[in-house]
Amino acid sequence: MAFELPALPYAYDALGEFMSAETLEFHHDKHHQAYVTNGNKLLDGSGLEGKSLEDIVRESHGKNAGLFNNAGQHYNHVHFWNWMKPNGGGDKLPGDLASRIDSDLGGFAKFRADFINAGMTQFGSGWCWLAVKNGKLEVMKTANGENPLVSGATPILGCDVWEHSYYIDYRNARPKYLEAWVDNLVNWDYVAELLEAAS
């Protein structure tokens, strides 16, 4: 199926000081649109045209770098917009998600620190993740357009640490961006929904 740019699920200025309208306009309208446009050009004739987005990501990995980079980033950003919401973040998590973070990751405070650390220590462009692998939650990080799908895991939360995601609002302060993101933006209901689907 051809890739399509989804509309943002909130207004451009809905995330306030934590992610500005200017960042969202560039990030969604220019960067994500470019992954869609270039991905569609590379999908055409690849032999993967009829596949789901997830399968295109998995099956192009290691075989068709151009398609993989754009399809991976399309998948990552489709979810990224939904991983945020106005007045999100914090430590009030839906019940099952909270108990799984307690049992698999040593509690919310440890998860928060490990997730932020994964984003801070991703050298260069990439993502930090909360994913389900073999039935257990794991914190991961990946470079560029990669995501946990390529290591047999299902991502349920991911933060974009490419500079285009934070440089307008936070300049070079990636740790401040990650802290603000977890504490004020995460849509935990969407994370819980993906956890349930992955279980």
Stretch that binds Mn ion, among 100-108, 138-146, 152-160, 170-178 (CB under 5 A): 152-160
What whole-number distance in Å separates Cα of residue 47 and Cα of residue 67?
A: 11
Nearest to 71 by CA among 96, 89, 49: 49
- Cβ distance to Mn ion smaller for residue 19 or 101: 19
Closest approach, Cβ 73 to Mn ion, in A, equals: 7
How big is the site for Mn ion, counted in residues (CB under 5 A)? Answer: 2
Taking the mean position of all CA atoms in its chain, how far away is CA 158? 3
In the numeric block, which tokens belong to residue 48? 């993967």
What whole-number distance in Å separates Cα of residue 103 and Cα of residue 175?
A: 26
Provide the 10 A C-beta neighbour count for residue 89.
Answer: 18
- Cβ distance to Mn ion smaller for residue 60 or 76: 76
Three-state DSSP class for residue 136: strand
Closest approach, Cβ 96 to Mn ion, in A, equals: 29
Closest approach, Cβ 165 to Mn ion, in A, equals: 5
Closest approach, Cβ 7 to Mn ion, in A, equals: 17
Provide the 10 A C-beta neighbour count for residue 10.
Answer: 15
Closest approach, Cβ 199 to Mn ion, in A, equals: 28
- Cβ distance to Mn ion smaller for residue 165 or 192: 165
The verdict on 146 binding Mn ion (CB under 5 A) reads no
Residue from 46, 81, 147, 160 binding Mn ion (CB under 5 A)? 160
- Cβ distance to Mn ion smaller for residue 32 or 100: 32
- Cβ distance to Mn ion smaller for residue 83 or 162: 162
Q: Which residue is nearest to Mn ion (CB)?
A: 160
Nearest to 62 by CA among 142, 155, 146, 140: 146
Stretch that binds Mn ion, among 144-152, 160-168, 174-182, 185-193 (CB under 5 A): 160-168
- Cβ distance to Mn ion smaller for residue 71 or 101: 71
- Tell me which DSSP letter residue 18 carries: G
Reported as half-sphere exposure (CB side, CA atoms, 13 A), residue 79 has a value of 25
Burial of 181 (C-beta count, 10 Å sphere; 0-12/13-18/19+): buried
Closest approach, Cβ 164 to Mn ion, in A, equals: 5
What residues line the site for Mn ion (CB under 5 A)?
160, 162
